[in-house]
Structures are given as C-alpha cells and as structure tokens.
Structure 1
Amino acid sequence: MNSFIPHFLLLTLCFASLSSLVFTAETTPDYFFIIFQWPKTKCESKEGCCLPKKGEPALNDFIISEFQPFYAQDGLIPENCNTTTKFQPSKVADLASSLERYWPSLTCPSRDSKKLWKEEWVKYGSCAESVLDLHDYFAAALRVQKQINLLKLLSDAGIKPNGTYYPGEMINKAVEKAGLGEVAVTCREDKDGLNTVLDQITLCGTREGNKFPCPGAFWICDSRNGNKVKFLKP
C-alpha cells in the first residue's frame, strides 16, 4: 500500500497509539473521520478479499472501512479506550442489514461481519462513548455514508468506476463542490506492482451523522503518476 500520509492526518496517526486513559466521560470528539473503501481494489490486490459468511456486501459501491473520532485540541484519534460496554449484536439488530451491506468484513478467511463490528467498537467506538452509545455509533456512521453518497458524488462529476485514470484535482473539486472540504485519497498497487489504483477516500462527519467539511489539505496518493489514480470497475 502507498505509504504517503496526508499531512492533516499525520499528527493524528502519530499520536493514535498513546494511552487513552485521559479520555473521560466528559471528553467529546470534535468530529469523525469516515474512511470509505472501494471493494474492487482490495479484491484485486495481493491481499485479496473474501465475502462474509452472512449478508450481501455492496461490492459495486463504496463501503465503510472505519469511523474514527477525532479530538482536534489534542490532535488525536484515540484507540482502545476504557469501556465497560461489550459489543452485543442484539444492540445493532435493527442496523444489521445496512451494516452487512455497507460495513462488511472482506477479510480472508471468510468470517461473520459481526466480528469486524466488534473490533471497530473496541478500537474506535469506545473512544466516542461520551457522545454515542454502541447503537448510535454505528447508526451515525451509516447516516454519514448515506448523506455523502460518495459514488454518486463522484459519478455526477464524471468520475466513474470504469478503469480510467482520473486527476487527483478532479476528485478534490468534486468533494469541495459537495461541501466536504478537502479530500484524502490512499491507493494500492495492482498485482503487478505497477499501477496505482484508488483504494480509500477519507472524509468527515459529525456525531449526528451529518457530513462535515474536512479541514486540512488536499492529498492524492500517487505523485509518481502525475497525481492520477485508476478507478477500477466493480
């Protein structure tokens, strides 16, 4: 995977491993990073993908990879915070069909997506518990995903998953026009290690599940190719 990191995320990632003991019930995230993944890119990579044991993932649309609380004052995306709330599938039963479609596990070997949701709750949801309980953490991510509708946003700007290379600036302008601030795009190399293909797009949302303009700077992963990235067919 391309190792470059957009500088508006660099500080947060550097501090992400710090102790979360400072996070109390009164600590409130300023907003959330929502990371969208293009499934075909993962499936075409050396890592590959496996369908989950249950549900039908939206393999022709962007899916949620992570929903990370961000604390701007400290520049932190904390992980694995102290919580007494254990992940219980029954708590998100009403969201299960949407989560299976838009937040599925594509890890190999195949597994139940509930294992992924448990991991995400422990890693990131636990650090937003001051404002979102277990159910509302996942509900907020789904609302942001629906409100942004990333595939339509890009398609309306002429950026379609057809195997074409698109300039990074074209992607950024589409995101800016939608009121989403600056975009950060990460990539993977193809199986031959030659071409850089669009893998993930990081945008922002609020705890209420509304889109939020990401502060920072436009970032496209592949400067080697004139900041152009390939958008694979689903």
Structure 2
Amino acid sequence: MGKLTAEAIVERALEIGDTEGLEAVTIRRLATDLGVTPMALYWHFKNKDQLTAGMAEHLVSSFAPKPADDRPWKEQLRDLTTGLIRTLRRHPCARGVLEQIDPAEVPGFLLVWDHALGLARQAGFGVEECCLIGRYLLQSAIAIADAPVHLRSGRSPEEIEELHRRKRLALQSLPPARYPNLVELADPMSRTFDEGFYDTFGVDLVLAGIEALAGSRS
C-alpha cells in the first residue's frame, strides 16, 4: 500500500468499531489489517486515547459548521443536530467514541460545541440555559439516531415481522375500557417508523421547544 496516513488509520478503525465494537479496535489489530508494523501507527497515534480522539475528529468533520454562516440561528442549529444524527446512524460506534473522548483533545468537537453555545446565545438564552441546550441536543440526537434502527439489527425481515405481530397482539389484547388509545393505535405502536419521517419529526419537536422558549424571552 502507499504511504500510511492518519485518515486511513482512522477510517479502518471506524470500520472495525462499526462491525465488531470499539473493544476490537487496537493498534495491533489495525497494524495487521493495514499491513504495517505497530510502530508505523504509533507515528500518527501514540496510544488508544489519541486514536479515539482521531476517530472523533473524523466523525465530527462531517457536520462541523462552515465559517461565515449568516443564516438564522435555528437553521444552523437544525443542521448541527441533523448532521450529528446522520453521523451517529452511519457509524454505530460513534456514540461510544464521543462518550470516551476528552473534548479538549478534539478541536472539531470543540468547534461544534462552541458554535452550538453561540447559537443558543443568539437565541437569547442565559448562560446556564445555553449549556443545557447543548447537552439536551446531544442526548436527543443520540436517542433519535438509535431508536428506529436497533430492532432491525441482526434480524431477518421475517423475524422483524413476527416481533411486530406479537407486540401488536399484546397491545390489542389490553382492556379497551382502560387503555383505549393503546388498543386503537396498536398497529402503528408496534412498528418502526420510516427513518426520514422519524428523524424529521424528532428534530422538529426538539427545536420547536427551543424556539418557543426563545420567543418567550424576547
């Protein structure tokens, strides 16, 4: 292979993390996969922490804010949120990577974090509120990205359909006088939603709350 780059190392690390879990990502494993000695990797990443930071930097670069963006704060905040969701869904190991890093070691993460705080301040929120908005958006993105896909992982279409059928029948068997809405909505409640609709509605719901609060402060 050609000259080994940090990007090639990180991309392979993410491939392993996505398919086998982060515990499978080691310097020795990467060296074997890339056909080099471990020392060749140490030239770019001295240890596992630096490698994880490099993985995070690569992940964040896909939705990092562009300079001189003069659009309204809510449009920019939406882009940050949807970009994070896309990244989390594209890379199953992304959540673990972002949870393990020291943000101070990942310039791209700091840039996104700083930008989100700045947008919240533009919206008129106080200091503590700005900090909480950033945390809530991160947790909301994680929840949105994870929920609609976990049921399908490792299961055949037939197995998924059988799971839906069992859940629907269980809800439909509830006493309708006590649980009228669960019984009526048993079919849609037992199924996963289209990802596009699920994501859009989830982001709309979260950002609508932020926008409504921002409006009450003006």
TM-score, structure 1 as length reference: 0.29
TM-score, structure 2 as length reference: 0.31
Instruction: Kindly indicate whether structure 1 or structure 2 has the higher relative contact order, using CA contacts under 8 Å at least 6 residues apart.
Output: 1
Q: Which has the higher helix share?
A: 2
Q: Which has the higher strand share?
A: 1
